[in-house]
Chain A
Amino acid sequence: MVATLIRLKKDLTFNGFNQSGWHILGTVFAGLYGLGIVGMVFSAQVMAGGAEVVDSQFIRTSSVLMGSAVFLLWLIIPVFISGADAAMNPRQFITYGIPRRGLILGLALTGLVSIGAVLTLIWLIGQVLHWRWDPAAVATALLTLPLLLITFSLVSQAVTTSISAWLSGRRSRDFLAILALSLMVMLYPIMVGLQNAFSSLSDAVPSVVDFLALTPLGAGAALPADAAAGHWGAFALRVGILAATVALAVLVIRTALVKITERPAVHGSSGPKDAKGLGLFARFPATPWGAVAARASTYWLKDSRYGGTLVVVPAFVVLAVVMYSQLDQPWILLALGPVVGWMLGFAISADISYDHSAFALHITSGVSGTADRVGRLIGLLSFGLPATVLAALIPALMFTEPVTTVALVGVSLGLLLGIAGFSCLVSARFTYPVPKPGDGPLSQPSGSTGRLMIVQLGMLVATLILMLPEVILVITWLLTDVSLWGWLLGIGAVLKGLALVWIGVRLGARVYERSQPELFQAVSQY
């Protein structure tokens, strides 16, 4: 049974490669990227372990920190990729009546057939070399190598299985993904907070390491240090912690599998029950473009794939304010408005891809290109304009004089409009794979990395070229220090943005009407 499952995972992985060249390219890129990082870590491990005078305290610290990071990655990554199409979703095995013991072991071991597992294995071998200066430690590292690998895989499987069992509802999964996304953005402020709690980072490290070494995160990686120092009591304690972790993971997988296989979920009805409500459709004008705008805005609010972008904006503002208070670099605040405008302008570049095959409705009802383009644009601007202006005004509260504020607001709005107009044009012809409707904002569509990177890189280069006039004006202003240039910059940027939006919509509408069926065929494949 275990062998069958592993073979299945292997076949699924390789069949995925047959789908498209982009998939292979993406995997190779991801693999090389991971290999690069692990390679660097590996050589650091080898060097630290072979030094003339070994700094055992340093090696313990780095081992525990790295071990905790690796453990954390194994914990978190399944949250991100647990879309409905995760290759080994335990839900797919319901109908086969596989003995539970075999299924648990099989699922845990199939987790080892992955790039992540190979990279982890390299790191673990690095650990052995890291400790090669002490016989007891190196023996411990060698013995715990397979144990740790299986622990990681089990814990990871526990997360996947319990998400599938208890959080399969869309809402809870969306919530998890958005939470994870905000946490990622907030990582810096959290670190800063932690740093402030201790007087300095280097003071904090020993207590953080001691703490981590007593949690499942760092216990395994701290074992060789105990062996080297002869702290056999602590050693036993950590082995206990590790054993308890494994036992807990198996228990969680088991309970979750029981839940999945013996009590398949009944999809309860949820959602608003208001009888009349047409929501935003009652607010926007009753025209084709008004309908598209109402639909787009509804999706901004209800679809977590869009919501992910919306959550990042306020998180970004908080991040910038915290960074400013720490580093005292005014440009961090000054950049806020333009960056928000730029991000939101890009946000509609994948709009049709997000529609997926539901886009058929736009084609079969013969919506004009202008109505489609304008509707999506208005949907974005209805909240994007105020959000961008607010972000651009934040630095004004703290220091700048009027002309800077005008220039900032102008450039931010110009960026929002210009990039949005550009997106209107580009998205009428070029699409790239995005998460399917119903998936979380962080689940990556398979085989997407290559095409996604090329389309986005192309758009980035094009926008940089489009932004040249502003850049020149800013430089002139800074060099001459004549405020007239600032006023000119602010007003000119808005006018240019308006012109770009107009051109983007006009051209985009024409391109859209010419390439509708090709667009539909492309997005319904994703």
Chain B
Amino acid sequence: MQPASERPTAPTSPDLTVPALRLRGLAKRFGQTPAVDDLDLDVPRGSFYGFVGPNGAGKTTTLSMATGLMRPDAGTAEVGGIDVWAHPREAKRTMGVLADGVMLFNKLTGAQLVTYAGLLRGMDRDTVASRTADLLRVLGLEDARGKLVQDYSAGMTKKIALASAMVHAPELLVLDEPFEAVDPVSARTIRGLLESYVASGGTVILSSHVMDLVQRMCSHVGIIAEGRLLASGTLDEVRDGSDLESRFVELVGLEAGDQELAWLQL
């Protein structure tokens, strides 16, 4: 991918021992229910980190607190050693975010939206223009560049959101459910883009429900349930000989019930 080679030298020298994302003691409760409970997490630089957990486990809450969208009750989040809550602007400079379930400015065209994201980051017009063109081409959105985002399909919307998150060539990409509601063709495009980004030295953390996908793509995995991190490490460490889905179910536990409906036997 072109933009990767044009990445400006980061203000902080990339110290390889500092994790790309480090969460310490992160906690958030909604009323009486703790959503995230004293969570520690390290995403090593250059890793492709899969963040998995059942619905309502606290994935989105954790990632929201790591990206500045939700203020934690306690704990810290650091991006490349910079505290997100103490120095938000510096920390956000090197981070690209695709949040889950948020709208886009969908009265803009695809090209306008990516341009907007670039200009908001303070990039100059020419760089934004050339990177926007590159991203739209790589993501197969060239024909739709002049179409309003509100008329995009679900897959196209995810792709344009990803383009907006990548236009400033971040060192860390935080992607919440990047493959949700995405068709296999778009999913493959996104995967290809992310893999080449990681190969060139970027770091990705993505949350997902699809174990198969995480197992195929990711180098590292973290499993979260009920706001706590149950396991984390490299893919091989976590799955411990079996496959990820079995390990996941083993850790999280099956749902109650005998899983059989007498009247549904045809």
Chain A residues within 8 Å of B, Cβ to Cβ? 170, 267, 269-275, 277-279, 281, 286-288, 290-292, 294-295, 298-299, 302-303, 355-358, 360-368, 371, 437-438, 513, 516-518, 520-521, 524
- Closest Cβ of chain A: how far from B29's Cβ, in Å? 14
Residues of chain A contacted by B111 (CB below 8 angstroms): 277-278
Residues of chain A contacted by B150 (CB below 8 angstroms): 170, 438
Q: Are B105 and A295 in contact (CB under 8 A)?
A: yes
What CA separation (Å) do A367 and B112 show in the bound complex? 17
Q: Are A275 and B146 in contact (CB under 8 A)?
A: yes
Q: Are B105 and A360 in contact (CB under 8 A)?
A: no
B148 adjacent to chain A (CB < 8 Å):
yes
Residue among B95, B104, B116, B150 with the highest chain A CB neighbour number at 10 A: B116
- Closest Cβ of chain A: how far from B193's Cβ, in Å? 19
Partner of B115, one of A170, A278, A355, A365: A278
Q: Are A518 and B112 in contact (CB under 8 A)?
A: no
- Closest Cβ of chain B: how far from A482's Cβ, in Å? 51
Q: Please list the 7 inter-chain residue pairs (A to B) with the smallest Cβ-Cβ separation, ordered nearest first.
A: A366-B92, A291-B119, A286-B125, A364-B97, A357-B102, A271-B148, A360-B102
Q: Are A361 and B151 in contact (CB under 8 A)?
A: no
Closest to A271 in B: B148
Residues of chain A contacted by B67 (CB below 8 angstroms): 363-364
Q: Are B164 and A361 in contact (CB under 8 A)?
A: yes
Q: Using A271-B148, A278-B111, A516-B68 as known contacts, say yes or no to A290 and B119 having CB atoms under 8 A apart.
A: yes
Q: Are B109 and A295 in contact (CB under 8 A)?
A: no
Q: Using A281-B115, A291-B116 as known contacts, say yes or no to A274 and B69 having CB atoms under 8 A apart.
A: no
Q: Are A363 and B68 in contact (CB under 8 A)?
A: yes
Partner of B120, one of A279, A357, A361: A361
B128 adjacent to chain A (CB < 8 Å):
yes
B124 adjacent to chain A (CB < 8 Å):
yes
Q: Are A357 and B103 in contact (CB under 8 A)?
A: yes
Q: List 27 A-B contacts (CB under 8 A).
A: A271-B148, A274-B146, A278-B111, A278-B112, A286-B124, A286-B128, A287-B119, A290-B119, A291-B115, A295-B108, A299-B105, A302-B107, A357-B99, A360-B102, A361-B117, A363-B67, A365-B92, A366-B89, A366-B121, A437-B107, A438-B106, A438-B150, A513-B88, A516-B68, A520-B69, A521-B69, A521-B70
- Closest Cβ of chain A: how far from B98's Cβ, in Å? 9
Q: Are A303 and B119 in contact (CB under 8 A)?
A: no
Q: Using A286-B124, A368-B89 as known contacts, say yes or no to A355 and B105 having CB atoms under 8 A apart.
A: yes
Among B134-163, those with CB < 8 Å from A are 145-148, 150-151
Chain B residues within 8 Å of A, Cβ to Cβ? 67-71, 88-89, 91-93, 95-97, 99, 101-109, 111-112, 115-117, 119-122, 124-125, 128, 145-148, 150-151, 164-165, 168
Partner of A364, one of B92, B116, B145, B151: B92
Q: Are B146 and A286 in contact (CB under 8 A)?
A: no
How many A-B contacts are there with CB distance less than 8 Å?
126
Q: Are B70 and A279 in contact (CB under 8 A)?
A: no
Residues of chain A contacted by B96 (CB below 8 angstroms): 364
Residue among B117, B120, B145 with the highest chain A CB neighbour number at 10 A: B120
- Closest Cβ of chain B: how far from A24's Cβ, in Å? 20
What CA separation (Å) do A520 and B103 show in the bound complex? 12
Closest to B165 in A: A364
Q: Are B121 and A365 in contact (CB under 8 A)?
A: yes
- Closest Cβ of chain B: how far from A220's Cβ, in Å? 42
Q: Using A277-B146, A363-B68, A517-B68 as known contacts, say yes or no to A270 and B102 having CB atoms under 8 A apart.
A: no
Residues of chain A contacted by B145 (CB below 8 angstroms): 275
Q: Using A360-B69, A364-B68 as known contacts, say yes or no to A524 and B102 having CB atoms under 8 A apart.
A: yes
A269-B147, A274-B146, A291-B116 known, 16 other contacts, Cβ within 8 Å: A271-B146, A272-B148, A279-B109, A281-B115, A286-B119, A286-B128, A295-B105, A295-B108, A302-B107, A357-B103, A360-B99, A364-B99, A365-B92, A365-B117, A366-B93, A517-B68
Q: Are B103 and A437 in contact (CB under 8 A)?
A: yes
Closest to B125 in A: A286
Q: Are A279 and B69 in contact (CB under 8 A)?
A: no
Q: Are A361 and B71 in contact (CB under 8 A)?
A: no
What CA separation (Å) do A247 and B128 show in the bound complex? 60
Residues of chain B contacted by A356 (CB below 8 angstroms): 103
Closest to A521 in B: B70
Q: Are B151 and A298 in contact (CB under 8 A)?
A: no
- Majority secondary structure of chain A interface residues (helix, strand, loop or mixed): helix
What CA separation (Å) do A287 and B88 show in the bound complex? 19
Residues of chain B contacted by A303 (CB below 8 angstroms): 107
Closest to B98 in A: A364
Q: Using A278-B112, A358-B102, A358-B103 as known contacts, say yes or no to A271 and B71 having CB atoms under 8 A apart.
A: no
Q: Are B104 and A358 in contact (CB under 8 A)?
A: yes
Partner of B122, one of A269, A287, A299, A364: A287
Closest to A304 in B: B107
Q: Using A269-B147, A275-B146, A358-B103 as known contacts, say yes or no to A367 and B115 having CB atoms under 8 A apart.
A: no
Q: Are A281 and B93 in contact (CB under 8 A)?
A: no
Q: Are B109 and A272 in contact (CB under 8 A)?
A: yes
Residues of chain A contacted by B148 (CB below 8 angstroms): 270-272
Closest to B65 in A: A517
Closest to A372 in B: B120
Residues of chain B contacted by A295 (CB below 8 angstroms): 105, 108, 116
Residues of chain A contacted by B117 (CB below 8 angstroms): 361, 365
Closest to A518 in B: B71
- Closest Cβ of chain A: how far from B156's Cβ, in Å? 11
- Closest Cβ of chain B: how far from A333's Cβ, in Å? 35
What CA separation (Å) do A367 and B122 show in the bound complex? 9
Residues of chain A contacted by B71 (CB below 8 angstroms): 517-518
Partner of B146, one of A273, A287, A520: A273
- Closest Cβ of chain B: how far from A290's Cβ, in Å? 7
What CA separation (Å) do A269 and B149 show in the bound complex? 11
- Closest Cβ of chain B: how far from A132's Cβ, in Å? 56
Residues of chain A contacted by B93 (CB below 8 angstroms): 366
Q: Are A358 and B69 in contact (CB under 8 A)?
A: no
Residues of chain A contacted by B147 (CB below 8 angstroms): 269, 271-273
Residues of chain B contacted by A437 (CB below 8 angstroms): 103, 106-107
Residues of chain B contacted by A524 (CB below 8 angstroms): 102
- Closest Cβ of chain B: how far from A291's Cβ, in Å? 3
Residues of chain A contacted by B115 (CB below 8 angstroms): 278, 281, 291
Closest to A282 in B: B125
Closest to B84 in A: A366
What CA separation (Å) do A360 and B102 show in the bound complex? 7
What CA separation (Å) do A351 and B160 show in the bound complex? 23
Residues of chain B contacted by A271 (CB below 8 angstroms): 109, 146-148, 151
- Closest Cβ of chain A: how far from B147's Cβ, in Å? 5
What CA separation (Å) do A287 and B122 show in the bound complex? 6
Residues of chain B contacted by A170 (CB below 8 angstroms): 150
Residues of chain A contacted by B112 (CB below 8 angstroms): 278-279, 281, 298
Closest to A268 in B: B151
